[in-house]
């Protein structure tokens, strides 16, 4: 009844609208009220943290009526909701983007000003929730931003980790990890929903029984249960009333405490139970770690997926929709295989608890799910030990067996006598210790499977999912990734945003393809001058920050050549490093050498257990230490390792880049999204034909992209025919010298052993073809240097890159998901309507 109550609707609308119409004075008043009513502080003794909280609550208050209105509308109109299931959401700092999306930035700035507070200083103290590792988690966050901005009903489902990705310190050139205590000051961006909670079972056994109707039923008698409580983060669309929700689950102990029987022993057991239950959502696993001790990780995956599906079923009930219509009301996207146990869990919920037939349940399941793959690296493909899964999720394994049996029957019918295909496609890897192949479960249980860039989607069909693509060709498609221009242009590069407004009007803000018109002005001298001015300012800001953090003075006139991303051998930070060493050698040998003065900036975290990646960080630090203080080169060459690369630091780094390093071994980087952020902000790319680089080059034009290296095909062919790194070493003197200098301890304070593992790996195996691509990379970098000398040409190329970046908005990507996979559409949220 409540949702039809006009007076309630009017009240909600007026709460939301009043705050919009509100003057700066009202905003200011609300901040002070929150300072007192939420922080219990008067202005005269309030700390910056108090002011930040007061401001954040003031902004949040302006989102809540929109949120309630959005939720009400979804329920009322029985619309289809896109559910994005992801173990990671790397959402970044919230205050700035919420101010931007609500259109309240100026109002807030002025209000805080009158209160004697600097908005930028308050934005700077926000601790970001690091609930993701990198690309995959950040992509999920960009997609939530686009869904809300495109007014599409959506829910993000994930885990509320108490500790997110570790913070990185650099000590003596080495990475040192610190735990990320993002909640230590509390967070104003979540609403706890103790009433929205579900129970999730683990362990125990299953048994069959006959119910009163004589139906054969399966009961899972769990060994223990954990409670999942909803923690909601509002996701505000850009200049629209849509406010969606990111629902994160925190694990808690089940209060099954029997007070009558209680004695001291049981009490301590109960406390222990509580501790164990709460560890489930305690910490995010860093990726790229070797498999081991991952029991808790599987438990996390099942935990959040089960909560999400139970929540979706509850929403069906709330809106009085029969469960048979589940797939008409929800589209559920599996962000890689981490949530893929959802396929079996939805089957369990529908069969065991809602008593649907296998066939009906399976039809619903397949129509509900779609699966996005984010990697082809064999070591990153998830498998779970069958015995482990059997002990933790006995009922789910039974269901997986049944799915597999029915599926393999289908394979045998399609390919009679082809037991090779059956073994390859099975959900269970039977070789050695038995394992469940999660990518196969996701593929079989979904109606659509996509890769994240054109090349990657093709390779997916040719490699790891080849048999499936042959059998179900129409299931496979590509959706190239995208990034949100709200955060990565408007919020982090306000200078550029203003210049774009001045040049093009404001339409680009809601339709990024409008940037295209900029290309017509690429040679315009006035635009070029303004363009350079914006870039100069961004670079000066980054230079100042680098000075503060590292003590390294970098002149903003230098070319800023930047590689920021997770540290990984396939991303080849060491290729970049080897080129720097050889450049350094050339400069020492010939001080008059005419090359562009450059500052090479690196940033990124290495997984704590990934020794080679950590050694790569140490190598970069070692090069920086030597190069930066060498009087022979220090005016022309700088090297910086920027510590603790995260979303917040990205805000200052992307807009300051002249050159974006996207140099992965072709075929290994599924898409990349940093490449898109750099391009939008006017950086030129030096890159291989890998991931979305291919499409970036197509958009920018070959003349506006620095291409080098082997193609994915050439890489595969070379590896097939037996790659010999030594061959490339013999042919390249500069390469030999660079490796030799490392071996001599030049970048390790004389320690000749330090980089031995890295050198041995390159010389003996070089699995990512660093040596094979070195010569072409160095030659390409030479072309970069030459292009830099021509200021006008560079400005033109930079402008064209931004102009052609419209295709890489996450809005474009989300529209493709909606049309080609989810069949969802926009719903206008109108606050004024009674």
Q: Which region holds residue 240: left if phi is over 0, alpha if psi is between -120 and 50, else beta?
A: beta
The three-state secondary structure class of 25 is: helix
Catalytic, 368? Answer no
Least CB distance to ligand 7GP at residue 672 (A) = 5
Helices 48-76 and 6-21 cross at an angle (nearest 10°) of 140
Instruction: Select from 134, 164, 222, 725 the one that contacts ligand 7GP (CB under 6 A).
Output: 134
19 binds ligand 7GP (CB under 6 A): no
Q: Nearer Cβ to ligand 7GP, position 243 or 460?
A: 460
Contact characters 51-90, ligand 7GP, x per CB under 6 A: ----------------------------------------
Judged by CB under 6 A, which stretch of 3-11, 128-136, 435-443, 630-638 contacts ligand 7GP?
128-136
Name the catalytic one among 227, 448, 565, 568. Answer: 565
Q: Hunting for tokens 């007070």 — which residue is that?
A: 259
User: Minimal distance in Å, beta carbon 110 to ligand 7GP?
Assistant: 38
Name which of residues 439 to 458 contact ligand 7GP (CB under 6 A). Answer: 452
The two tokens of residue 413 are 């019918």
Cα 442 to Cα 335: distance, rounded to the nearest angstrom:
10
CA-CA distance, 669 to 481, in Å (whole number)? Answer: 12
Comparison of 34 and 133: residue with beta carbon closer to ligand 7GP: 133
Query: Residue 790 has what DSSP assignment?
Result: -
**Is 633 a residue that touches ligand 7GP (CB under 6 A)?**
no
184 is annotated as an active-site residue: no
Greatest CA separation for the chain: 92
In the set 93, 96, 129, 135, which binds ligand 7GP (CB under 6 A)?
A: 135
- The single residue of 247, 535, 566, 648 carrying the catalytic annotation is 566
Q: CB of 281 within 8 A of CB of 160?
A: yes
Which span (234-242, 543-551, 670-678, 728-736) binds ligand 7GP, by CB under 6 A?
670-678
Task: Select which of 62, 227, 486, 571 is catalytic.
Answer: 571
**Of the listed pieces 488-496, 554-562, 665-673, 733-741, which binds ligand 7GP according to CB under 6 A?**
665-673
Work out whether 477 is an interface residue with ligand 7GP (CB under 6 A).
Answer: no
Q: Stretches 374-382, 576-584, 590-598, 753-761: which one binds ligand 7GP (CB under 6 A)?
A: 374-382
Question: What φ, ψ does residue 126 adopt, rounded to 5°?
Answer: -65, 130
Told to judge if 566 belongs to the known catalytic residues of this protein, a careful annotator would answer yes
Kindly tell me which residue out of 241, 281, 306, 375 binds ligand 7GP, with binding defined by CB under 6 A.
375
168 vs 287 by CB, closer to ligand 7GP: 287
Q: Does 133 interact with ligand 7GP (rule: CB under 6 A)?
A: yes
CA-nearest of 55, 149, 139 to 105 is 55
CB of 134 to ligand 7GP, least distance (A): 5
Q: Which two tokens stand for residue 478?
A: 């590509």
Catalytic position from the list 242, 365, 383, 673: 673
Of 331 and 452, which CB lies nearer to ligand 7GP in the complex structure? 452
Site pattern 379..408 for ligand 7GP (x: CB under 6 A): -x----------------------------
Segment 534 to 573, residues that bind ligand 7GP, using CB under 6 A: none
Convert 194-212 into a string of H (helix), E (strand) and C (coil).
Answer: EEEEEEEEECCEEEEEECC
How do beta strands 224-236 and 243-253 pair? Answer: antiparallel
What pairs with residue 199 in β-bridges? 227
Q: Transcribe 509-534 into DSSP letters.
A: GT-GGGGGGGGGGTT-HHHHHHHHHH
What is the CA angle 597-551-612, rounded to 5? 80
Map the footprint of ligand 7GP across residues 479-498, applying CB under 6 A. 481
Please pick, among 374, 435, 440, 486, the residue that the annotation labels catalytic: 374
Does residue 374 carry a catalytic annotation?
yes
Residue 78 corresponds to which tokens in the numbers above? 């029985």
Which entry of 677, 697, 796, 812 is annotated as an active-site residue? Answer: 677
Name the residue nearer to ligand 7GP (CB basis): 298 or 497: 298
Cβ proximity to ligand 7GP, 376 vs 546, nearer residue:
376
End-to-end CA separation in angstroms for the chain: 15
> What is the DSSP code (8-state) at residue 656?
G
Among 62, 374, 535, 651, binds ligand 7GP (CB under 6 A): 374
Report the C-alpha gap between 735 and 756 in whole angstroms. Answer: 16
The pattern of x and - marking residues 286 through 325 that bind ligand 7GP according to CB under 6 A reads -x--------------------------------------
Q: Which is nearer to ligand 7GP, 153 or 604 (CB)?
A: 604
Nearest to 193 by CA among 99, 90, 282, 71: 71
Active site residue 507: no
What's the rounded Cα separation, in Å, for the pair 299 and 281?
A: 9
Least Cα distance to 406 among 358, 447, 442 occurs for 358
**What phi and psi values does residue 660 have, to the nearest 5 degrees?**
-105, 125
| Alpha-carbon distances, residue 824 vs 153, 186, 210, 318, 827 (angstroms) | 8, 35, 40, 20, 9
| 785-793 contacts, C-beta under 8 A, 24 or more apart | 785/595, 785/596, 785/598, 787/684, 787/706, 788/559, 788/596, 788/658, 789/596, 791/532, 792/523, 792/528
Strands 435-437 and 383-385: antiparallel
Q: Looking at beta carbons only, is 132 or 153 nearer to ligand 7GP?
A: 132
By the rule CB under 6 A, 336 interacts with ligand 7GP = yes
Q: What are phi and psi of 194, to 5 degrees?
A: -60, -25
Given 101, 242, 673, 805, the residue binding ligand 7GP (CB under 6 A): 673
Task: Choose between 135 and 339: whose C-beta lies nearer to ligand 7GP.
Answer: 135
We find the least distance from the C-beta atom of residue 770 to ligand 7GP, in angstroms, to be: 18
Residue 136 sits in the site that holds ligand 7GP (CB under 6 A): yes
Is residue 158 a contact residue for ligand 7GP (CB under 6 A)? no
670 lies in the site for ligand 7GP, by CB under 6 A: yes
Contacts of 164 (CB under 8 A, 6+ apart): 129, 130, 131, 132, 180, 182, 284
Count of positions on this chain that bind ligand 7GP (CB under 6 A)? 18
Q: Is 448 a catalytic residue?
A: no
Residues that bind ligand 7GP (CB under 6 A): 133-136, 139, 287, 336, 374-375, 380, 452, 481, 669-673, 691
Which residues are known catalytic residues?
Answer: 374, 565-566, 571, 673, 677
């Amino acid at each position: 009844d409540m949702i039809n109550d006009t007076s309630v609707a009017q009240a909600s609308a007026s709460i939301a609208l009043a705050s919009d119409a509100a003057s700066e004075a009202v905003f200011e008043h609300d901040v002070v009220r929150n300072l007192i009513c939420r922080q219990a502080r008067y202005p005269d003794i309030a700390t910056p943290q108090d002011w930040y909280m007061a401001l954040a609550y003031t902004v949040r208050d302006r989102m809540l009526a929109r949120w309630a209105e959005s939720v009400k509308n979804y329920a009322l109109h029985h619309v289809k909701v896109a559910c994005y299931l992801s173990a990671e959401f790397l959402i970044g700092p919230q205050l700035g983007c919420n101010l931007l999306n609500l259109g309240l930035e100026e109002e807030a700035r002025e209000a805080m000003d009158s209160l004697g507070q600097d908005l930028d200083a308050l934005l700077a103290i926000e601790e970001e929730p690091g609930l993701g590792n990198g690309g995959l988690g950040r992509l999920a966050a960009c997609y939530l931003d686009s869904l809300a901005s495109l007014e599409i009903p959506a829910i993000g489902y994930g885990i509320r980790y108490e500790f997110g990705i570790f913070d990185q310190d650099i000590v003596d050139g080495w990475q040192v990890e610190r735990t990320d205590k993002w909640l230590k000051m509390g967070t104003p961006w979540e609403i706890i929903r103790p009433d929205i909670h579900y129970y999730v079972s683990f362990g125990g056994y299953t048994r069959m029984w006959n119910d009163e109707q004589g139906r054969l039923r399966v009961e899972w008698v769990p060994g223990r249960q954990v409670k999942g409580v909803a923690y909601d983060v509002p996701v505000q669309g850009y200049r629209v009333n849509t406010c969606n929700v990111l629902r994160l689950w925190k694990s808690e102990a089940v209060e099954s405490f029997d007070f009558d029987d209680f004695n001291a022993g049981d009490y301590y057991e109960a406390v222990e139970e509580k501790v164990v239950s709460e560890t489930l959502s305690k910490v995010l696993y860093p990726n790229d770690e070797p498999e081991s001790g991952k029991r808790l990780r599987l438990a996390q995956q099942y935990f959040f997926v089960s909560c999400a599906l139970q929540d979706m079923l509850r929403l069906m009930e709330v809106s009085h929709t029969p469960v048979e219509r589940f797939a008409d009301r929800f589209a559920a996207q599996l962000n890689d295989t981490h949530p893929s146990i959802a396929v079996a869990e939805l089957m369990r919920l529908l069969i065991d608890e809602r008593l649907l037939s296998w066939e009906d349940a399976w039809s619903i399941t397949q129509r509900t799910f779609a699966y996005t793959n984010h990697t082809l690296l064999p070591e990153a493909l998830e498998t779970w030990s069958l015995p482990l899964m059997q002990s933790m999720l006995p009922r789910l394994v039974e269901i997986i067996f049944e799915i597999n049996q029915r599926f393999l029957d289908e394979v045998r019918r399609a390919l009679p006598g082809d037991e090779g295909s059956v073994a390859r496609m099975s959900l269970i890897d039977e070789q050695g210790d038995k394992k469940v192949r999660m990518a196969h479960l996701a593929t079989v249980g979904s109606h659509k499977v996509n890769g994240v860039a054109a090349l990657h989607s093709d390779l997916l069909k040719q490699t790891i999912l080849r048999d499936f693509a042959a059998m179900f060709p129409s299931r496979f498609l590509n959706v190239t990734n995208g990034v949100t221009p709200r955060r990565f242009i408007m919020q982090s590069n306000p200078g550029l945003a203003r210049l774009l407004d001045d040049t093009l009007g404001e339409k680009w803000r809601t339709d990024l393809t409008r940037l295209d018109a900029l290309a017509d002005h690429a040679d315009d001298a006035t635009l070029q001058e303004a363009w350079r001015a914006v870039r100069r300012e961004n670079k000066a800001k980054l230079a100042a920050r680098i000075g503060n953090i590292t003590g390294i003075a970098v002149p903003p006139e230098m070319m800023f050549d930047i590689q920021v991303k997770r540290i990984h051998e396939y991303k080849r930070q060491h290729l970049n490093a080897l080129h720097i060493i050889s450049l350094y050698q050339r400069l020492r040998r010939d001080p008059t050498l005419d090359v562009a003065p450059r500052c090479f900036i690196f940033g990124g975290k290495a997984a704590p257990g990934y020794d080679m990646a950590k050694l790569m960080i140490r190598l970069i630090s070692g090069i920086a230490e030597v190069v930066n203080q060498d009087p022979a080169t220090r005016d022309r060459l700088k090297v910086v390792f920027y510590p603790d690369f995260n979303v917040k630091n990205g805000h200052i780094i992307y807009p300051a880049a002249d050159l974006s390093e996207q140099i992965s071994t072709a075929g290994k980087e599924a898409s990349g999204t940093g490449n898109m952020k750099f391009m939008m902000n006017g950086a030129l790319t030096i890159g291989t034909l890998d991931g979305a680089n291919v499409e970036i080059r197509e958009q920018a034009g070959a003349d506006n992209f620095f291409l080098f290296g082997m193609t994915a095909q050439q890489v595969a062919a070379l590896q097939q025919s037996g790659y010999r790194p030594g061959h490339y070493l013999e042919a390249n003197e500069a390469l030999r010298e660079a490796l030799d200098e490392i071996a001599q301890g030049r970048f390790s304070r004389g320690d000749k052993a330090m980089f031995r593992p890295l050198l041995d790996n390159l010389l003996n195996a070089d699995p990512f073809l660093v040596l094979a691509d070195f010569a072409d990379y160095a030659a390409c970098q030479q072309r970069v240097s030459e292009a830099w000398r021509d200021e006008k040409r560079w400005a033109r190329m930079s402008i064209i890159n931004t102009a052609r970046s419209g295709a890489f908005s996450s809005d474009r990507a989300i529209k493709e998901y909606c049309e080609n996979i989810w069949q969802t559409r926009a719903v206008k949220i109108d606050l004024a309507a009674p």
